[in-house]
Structure 1
Amino acid sequence: MPKNEQILTSRRFLPMFLTQFFGALNDNVFKQSLLLVITYGWLHHQAGEISTLNNMVALLFILPYFIFSATAGQIADKYERSGLVRKIKILEIIIMVIATIGFFIGNLWLLLFALFLMGTHSTFFGPIKYAILPDILKPEELVSGNALFQSGTSMAIIIGMILGGLVISYAAGDLTWISLTVLIIAGLGYLCSRFILKQPVPTHKIEIDWNFFRTSFQTLKYAKSLPVVYWVLLGNSWYWFYGATYLTQIPLLTKDNLHASENVVSLLLTFFSVGIAVGSLLCRKIGGSQVSLKMVPYGAIGLTLFALYLAGSLAFLPERSGELIGIYEMFNSGPAYYHVMLSMALLGISGGFYIVPLYTMMQAYAPPSHRARVVAANNIYNAIFMVASSIFSIIILSLFKIDLKILFCITAVLSAVFSVVLLRQLSFKLATTDQIVEE
């Protein structure tokens, strides 16, 4: 039985893992630094409300997933994937050069254009990175590979956010250093991509359709024709809805409920991300190497129970006034704060239990000739659910003026209901599929 460590150091897996890690790292270093540069007004040509600009940052990064995912899936199924990865990594370096020019001349619109291009870069890389795993790994290694991918991505996200904040903070307005940082990370990603082994071409017969409306519709329609895959994609996308609902509220939770500073936001994100990494790795050790739903119910239960635990923890926080507390003060402010930190870690662990088996099933049950397009459909659904999460949170918090704790409770209950439906549907579809195979 293969171990995570053996896969991680293998020539087949390590270059792809590192390429993916540096890509996710650079996405988050750049996004976080741009948010901070906008928030603290370090651009000469900045105009508009800070909140509006920050929301624009989030929108511009996710917009390419709507527009280009289906086309990206077609390309990833038509051409040799290791070569595609290298071309995409060269594109990343060019995008970071554009961003560097934007930082140097203080042009916000050029930086936002670079951000849109980074979203586009990630959109085209996404179908490849998950479609390539079944090609470079043995069937019994697929769960371990996905566990390592998820844990590595989680760590890259939190390291990227922290690194972006630290570079901006210590540079004291000198944007040369953040420019060098993103260029170096992009260069490391390209160097790692040079070692990815050449892969077989899934099919040459695809004619690329550049009409993204038609292609997106056809891609989603095809995914829906695969019963098991379709419900797996909905399960994946629900996790993105759930995660976006909670993670988006962490700054507000930190300021209004914990009465804490920006550093505590990073601390809570760290607990959540480390939790996902731990849960992803434990998923392989506890659930075994077989592709199955075994760990998903445990993850689903945790996502409900620990969300309620978080909401309950917030209710017992002491009232505070005056200056915002930092990390040190929070650790010395009583057990209520420890419950909040613990709940964030447990939510992350539950997320790892939930998402790793579903991503593995997506790869295992998608036809090899259409695997990248199935991943593209997954990305489109993810984007739709994330936008729905933002609208849902705005309605609850802004329109109805409902307390943050109630939002968490509502989301927890919705997660329980959705998970019951998901598991029943998947169990039935899997049983039907297995019966057909036997016949």
Structure 2
Amino acid sequence: MAHVPEPPVTDHHSQFDLLRQRRFLPYFTVQALGAFNDNVYRQAIIGLLGAMALAGTLAADTRALYTQLAPAIFILPYFLFSATAGQIAEKLEKQRLIVITTAMEIAIMSLAAVGFVLQNMPLLLVALFCTGLQSTLFGPVKYSILPSVLRPEELTGGNGLVEMGTSISILLGMIFGGSIFLLAGAAGPYVAAVSIVVLAIAGNLVARRIPRVDAGEPGLRVSWNVLRESLRIWKLTRRQPAVRNAVLGVSWFWFIGTVLTAQLPMYAETNLGGTQALYIFALALFSIGVGAGSLLCEKLSGRTVEIGLVPLGAFGVSAFMLDLYFARPGEALAAGLSVTQFVAAPGSWRIILDLTGIGLFTGFFVVPLFALIQSRTPRAELARVIAGMNIQNAAFIVAAAVIGIALQRFLGWSIPQLFLALAIANALVALWIFSIVPEFFMRFVSWLMVRALYRLELHGIEKHVPDEGPALLVCNHVSYMDALILAATIPRPVRFVMYHRIFNVPVMRWIFRTARAIPIAGAREDPALMQRAFDAIDAALAEGEIVGIFPEGALTKDGDIAPFKSGVERILQRAADAGRPVPVVPMALRGMWSSMWSRRDSRLGRMRVPRRFRARVAVVAEAPVSDPEVTAQQLEARVRALRGAEA
């Protein structure tokens, strides 16, 4: 009986669909409420300090001391307790831990409420330290839970929503918290007290709606030796070069964000000529940019973990920060400008665009890094890796604050000069990271090529390509770009097997080698290379990786599918003999024959401008075949049926 393929399923989901699902929405709401409440609390403390100074109950030097102490008190628990928090997040069921940490928040905010009512700053600082402790405990579970509730193709979109929600919640929390004492007057302490407790209770109630998520390593024994475990957990972040440098990239993101946001209040006053309202406006531009960039990552990545966006984000941040320096290198000519007056002033739109652009490309930079860390780290280690990253993040935040103060006070740098130095440093750090792990830049080049040359339509990829475990992909072979197109559409990394002459094509060779492609030759041409290829394929499948092959053995010369060679049977038989049968996912490329880099034209013709620049190409997949004795001819028939008449 002839095989009849099922109707293809088109992959046209939106990340916003997650906001309608219980597996994501309660978690998203909890982390957004937590970020909002933290910033309401911290800004309310600043507001109380100002109110007490105006009332004459607090000396100016004491106010300055409290203002400087507050950030240090909040960040200190990340150094002291991140190692313990990572172990606890690994050991406990994650929903239970979130409920515990949000219950802690209720108790902490109740203590802070007493501090507001009594206007007792030492008590408020104790509560601030406890808030940092609660954030330290929540941090590892915040990101380690995502791979357990999202599919690989949803990781980028889910992280984008989380970063968007966090950045907007921080902004709104700062506005709300900063407005309490301005609008409520004498009732400010009571409004602040009620607000933070109500928000904490709301977070705990929503946390109880999060579905159960199993512990990563329930048998883990928690070690209470802070120094030893901090070092051990930090070393976990460095096992894989890609993860190590993704963690470094996230820490660098915090460095940039700390320098920028710390300087914005004085920048708005001195260089933009505005007031507190203009500072909030500038911060809003940056935050909205981060949110927009985070959300755009899913669209730009094609629902894969596309680390090719990281170089784009890094150099985009440097470009806009560099332009921000040239847009306003000196002090403002006016003072006391409202937001409306600033917007109407000459040259202001350039500054507005720069601040938004910095945020936008920051989103492109950090979201794929989080997704990469989550997808490449073993589930049983992820919470501890996140904890190790938090330790490093805290160190970078402190370094950013110290360096910023030192450059301004001891070298006399202006804020625009500090932004210029940061733009240059960011470009240099990015180049260094991408040089030691070329996978980042390789993915950027391949992403740019694929997205510039083709318009992709996906059918059945999410449904039929396994989320985890080994799999063998078989696909028709039409052009030199086939492997790059498949890599751009499959959420997981794929080890492609390709003819060694294609593997060695100039420029492309660097991409293929960095992507760990497996070169192969015919038995008559180079039997040793062929044997090494089969050994590498078997090893990759044994490690649970996805391997992609083109069983025709060569590019099609006429647009038709050539007979599949028996090598696919050899691969499957070898895996079955070892007691680990591998599913085979039939796939097909449509529309590639008449696009560039196929053999439709002569070599001279291929050098001319192609007829179908930005060709519309479909990538189709169907249900995996689990029979280890499936033949090459049967797989060929399935791929032919998937491709249909459109070559």
What is the TM-score normalised by the length of structure 2? 0.65
Q: Which residue of the partner structure matches residue 309 of structure 2? A: 295
Tell me whether 1:159 sits opposite 2:172 in the alignment.
yes
Inter-partner Cα distance in structure 1 for 2:62 and 2:281 = 27
Q: How does 1:124-163 map to 2 (within 5 A)?
A: 124-163=137-176
Choose which of 274, 280, 284 in structure 1 pairs with 2:298. 284
Inter-partner Cα distance in structure 2 for 1:195 and 1:76 = 19
Q: Is the 8 A contact 2:317 2:361 kept in 1?
A: yes
Q: Is the 8 A contact 1:232 1:426 kept in 2?
A: no
SS in 2 for 1:355: helix
Tell me whether 1:100 sits opposite 2:113 in the alignment.
yes
Q: Is the 8 A contact 2:91 2:215 kept in 1?
A: yes
Q: How many residues align?
A: 436
- Give the CA deviation at 1:267: 0.6
**Closer/same/farther in 2, CA of residues 337 and 428 from structure 1, 3 Å limit:** closer
Q: Is the 8 A contact 2:270 2:331 kept in 1?
A: no
- Give the CA deviation at 1:45: 6.8
Choose which of 275, 281, 294 in structure 2 pairs with 1:267. 281
**Closer/same/farther in 2, CA of residues 129 and 318 from structure 1, 3 Å limit:** closer
Q: Which amino acid aligns with 1:408?
A: F
Tell me whether 1:339 sits opposite 2:350 in the alignment.
yes
Tell me whether 1:180 sits opposite 2:194 in the alignment.
yes
Q: Which amino acid aligns with 2:340?
A: Y
Choose which of 232, 246, 257 in structure 1 pairs with 2:246. 232
Q: Which residue of the partner structure matches residue 418 of structure 2? A: 407
Tell me whether 1:13 sits opposite 2:24 in the alignment.
yes
Q: Which residue of the partner structure matches residue 426 of structure 1? A: 437
- Give the CA deviation at 1:434: 4.5
Tell me whether 1:60 sits opposite 2:84 in the alignment.
no
- Give the CA deviation at 1:319: 1.4
Deviations 1:74-118 (A, max 9, x none): 000001000000011010000010001101111100000111111
Inter-partner Cα distance in structure 1 for 2:514 and 2:90 = 28
SS in 1 for 2:347: helix
**Closer/same/farther in 2, CA of residues 86 and 254 from structure 1, 3 Å limit:** same
Q: Is the 8 A contact 1:317 1:336 kept in 2?
A: no
Tell me whether 1:374 sits opposite 2:385 in the alignment.
yes
Q: Which residue of the partner structure matches residue 361 of structure 1? A: 372
- Give the CA deviation at 1:408: 0.7
Tell me whether 1:216 sits opposite 2:233 in the alignment.
no
Inter-partner Cα distance in structure 2 for 1:103 and 1:143 = 40
Q: Is the 8 A contact 1:73 1:373 kept in 2?
A: yes
Q: Which amino acid aligns with 1:325?
A: L
- Give the CA deviation at 1:62: 0.9
Rg larger for: 2
Q: Which residue of the partner structure matches residue 189 of structure 1? A: 203
Q: Which amino acid aligns with 1:225?
A: R
Deviations 1:180-236 (A, max 9, x none): 111111111111101100012222221111121111111112222232211111011
**Closer/same/farther in 2, CA of residues 45 and 133 from structure 1, 3 Å limit:** farther
Deviations 1:375-412 (A, max 9, x none): 00111111011111111111211111112211111110
Q: Which residue of the partner structure matches residue 327 of structure 1? A: 339
Inter-partner Cα distance in structure 2 for 1:93 and 1:44 = 32
- Give the CA deviation at 1:433: 8.3
Deviations 1:54-75 (A, max 9, x none): 1211111111111111110000
Q: Is the 8 A contact 1:64 1:116 kept in 2?
A: yes
Q: Is the 8 A contact 2:89 2:215 kept in 1?
A: no
Deviations 1:215-259 (A, max 9, x none): 111111222223221111101101110111111000110111112
Q: Which amino acid aligns with 1:272?
A: F
- Give the CA deviation at 1:51: 2.7
Inter-partner Cα distance in structure 1 for 2:219 and 2:165 = 34
Q: Is the 8 A contact 1:46 1:108 kept in 2?
A: no
Q: Which amino acid aligns with 1:67?
A: L
Inter-partner Cα distance in structure 1 for 2:364 and 2:514 = 25
Deviations 1:262-300 (A, max 9, x none): 111111111110100000011111122111312111111
- Give the CA deviation at 1:420: 1.0
Q: Which residue of the partner structure matches residue 478 of structure 2? A: none
Deviations 1:325-383 (A, max 9, x none): 22222123x23222222211111001000000001001111111010000001111110
Deviations 1:19-40 (A, max 9, x none): 0000000011001111121133
Q: Which amino acid aligns with 2:252?
A: W
**Closer/same/farther in 2, CA of residues 253 and 124 from structure 1, 3 Å limit:** same
SS in 2 for 1:41: helix
Instruction: Please report the RMSD computed on the Cα atoms of aligned residues, expressed in angstroms.
Output: 1.9
Inter-partner Cα distance in structure 2 for 1:148 and 1:340 = 26
Q: Which amino acid aligns with 1:144?
A: G
Deviations 1:96-154 (A, max 9, x none): 10001101111100000111111111110010010000001111111110000000001
Tell me whether 1:80 sits opposite 2:85 in the alignment.
no
Q: Which amino acid aligns with 1:268?
A: A
Q: Which amino acid aligns with 1:361?
A: L
The gaps in structure 2 that reach 5 residues or longer are 1-10, 441-492, 494-512, 518-535, 542-647
- Give the CA deviation at 1:317: 6.6
**Closer/same/farther in 2, CA of residues 280 and 46 from structure 1, 3 Å limit:** same
Deviations 1:138-182 (A, max 9, x none): 111111100000000011000100011122211113210111111
SS in 2 for 1:207: coil
**Closer/same/farther in 2, CA of residues 46 and 291 from structure 1, 3 Å limit:** same
What is the TM-score normalised by the length of structure 1? 0.95
- Give the CA deviation at 1:44: 8.7
Q: Is the 8 A contact 2:330 2:416 kept in 1?
A: no
Higher relative contact order (CA 8 A, sep 6+): 1
Larger strand proportion of the pair = 2
Q: Which amino acid aligns with 1:378?
A: M
Identity of aligned residues (%): 34
Larger helix proportion of the pair = 1
